[in-house]
């Protein structure tokens, strides 16, 4: 895509790029400034995130209209804070990167429209960013890691295994056929009355639980294709809970621990299948095969430990961004914008927000991929 008329062209290889990133795809309002040095190294100059958890907690999930209104109310101030914290002016920027999808379209419109207005006012190029791609490329910013690698993307709306072959070249190996893992955590937390957001709540409750007390299924275990399914696991938790109501604090802790253990085991089984596919299709790079994990659920310590064990046994490298960069943030958006700009890629100001925007547009839809899985 070409930059809009009368927009300054992006700087090419050999120059340091400074990019403002904007993220409003769900219930975090975020802005960040990131630089990409001439040798490809990244630096986070600022990273401001404002969560809306309190606004949505009473509903047990994100309410799209409330989320969009919250973005409108605070985005300008968050951008000003990010610029101030980074110590940069508008004249220091080489471009504006904004999440354009997938996500809640009302929130996406807020962030993307703001970015377009800045680009028009400051004569800067716009880079519309795929939220999933930003997660996929975060390790370039944090670890200096470039493709190829295998990506496990686990969040509230997405659970996928993606062969990241290059910047802009992604092959989906597996996806959820119903609930995303983060969604299953949220619904389990709601069932057990643990509060919102569900992931941290279930993890905290599981610390004191016995994962062996309840026998829960490992969905899709042994299947040849590395797809995921978590609806049956969520139902199994409900069935187990119903059989012993009223639930004591110990019951809740044991159910949380059993759910977390089963979910991690299911993920490990699916990742092993994808690792075998990748190892069979291409020779290992000089650094060896690498598994990258991204998305909000990647903050779960039990899952991280299970993945460390798996990669250690298989001789793979494991790359896990810092927990603060696993959840939604604008630093990953700004970094992806810089990676696009250095390759001469920009977006027209007519670019529209997209509720659905798959990384691999050639992948066939997964049969039964439920409410959120389709946008993955």
Domain range list for the chain: 17-142+325-359, 149-320
Mean pLDDT of the chain: 90
Query: pLDDT tens digits for 149-201?
Result: 999 999 888 899 999 999 999 999 999 999 999 999 999 999 999 987 889 99
Query: 17-142+325-359 falls under which CATH superfamily?
Result: ATPase, nucleotide binding domain (3.30.420.40)
Distances (CA, A) of 1 to 29, 99, 201, 236, 346: 27, 16, 43, 48, 6
Entry pTM: 0.89
How crowded is residue 355: how many other Cβ atoms within 10 Å of its Cβ? 14
Under a CB-based contact definition with an 8 Å cutoff, are residues 115 and 22 in contact?
A: yes
Q: Which pLDDT tens digit goes with each residue over 268-300?
A: 999 999 999 999 988 888 788 999 999 989 999
Neighbours of 74 (CB within 10 A): 15
Ranking 10-24, 74-88, 125-139, 337-351 by mean pLDDT, the lowest is 10-24
Task: Answer whether 17-142+325-359 and 149-320 agree in fold.
Answer: yes
Please give the CATH architecture assigned to the domain spanning 149-320: 2-Layer Sandwich (3.30)
């Amino acid at each position: 895509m070409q930059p809009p008329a009368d927009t300054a062209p992006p700087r090419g290889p050999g120059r340091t790029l400074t990019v403002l990133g904007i993220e409003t795809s769900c219930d975090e309002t975020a802005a960040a400034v990131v630089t990409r040095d001439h040798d490809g190294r990244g630096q986070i100059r600022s990273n401001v995130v404002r969560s809306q958890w309190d606004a949505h907690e009473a509903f047990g999930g994100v309410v799209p209209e409330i989320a969009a209104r919250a973005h409108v109310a605070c985005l300008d101030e968050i951008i000003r804070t990010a610029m101030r914290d980074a110590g940069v002016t508008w004249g220091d920027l080489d471009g504006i990167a904004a999440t354009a999808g997938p996500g809640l379209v009302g929130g996406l419109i807020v962030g993307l429209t703001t970015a377009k207005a800045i680009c028009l006012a400051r004569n800067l190029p716009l880079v519309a960013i795929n939220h999933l791609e930003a997660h996929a490329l975060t390790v370039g910013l944090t670890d200096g890691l470039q493709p190829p690698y295998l990506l496990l993307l686990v969040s509230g709306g997405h659970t996928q295994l993606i062969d990241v072959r290059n910047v802009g070249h992604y092959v989906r190996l597996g996806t959820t056929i119903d609930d995303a893992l983060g969604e299953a955590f949220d619904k389990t937390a709601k069932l057990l009355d643990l509060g919102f957001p569900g992931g941290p709540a279930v993890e905290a409750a599981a610390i004191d639980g016995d994962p062996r007390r309840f026998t829960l299924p490992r969905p899709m275990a042994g299947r040849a294709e590395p797809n995921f399914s978590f609806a049956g696991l969520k139902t199994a938790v409900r069935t187990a809970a119903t059989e012993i109501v009223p639930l004591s604090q110990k019951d809740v802790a044991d159910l949380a621990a059993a759910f977390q253990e089963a979910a991690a085991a299911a993920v490990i089984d699916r990742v092993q299948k994808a690792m075998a596919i990748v190892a069979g299709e291409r020779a290992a790079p000089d650094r060896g095969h690498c598994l990258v994990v991204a998305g909000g659920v990647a903050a779960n310590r039990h899952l991280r430990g299970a993945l460390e064990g798996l990669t250690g046994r298989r001789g793979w490298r494991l790359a896990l961004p810092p927990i603060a960069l696993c959840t939604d943030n604008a630093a990953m958006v700004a970094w992806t914008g810089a990676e696009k700009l250095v390759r001469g890629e920009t977006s027209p100001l007519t670019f529209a927000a997209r509720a659905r925007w798959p990384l691999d547009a050639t992948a066939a839809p997964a049969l039964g991929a439920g409410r959120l899985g389709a946008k993955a």
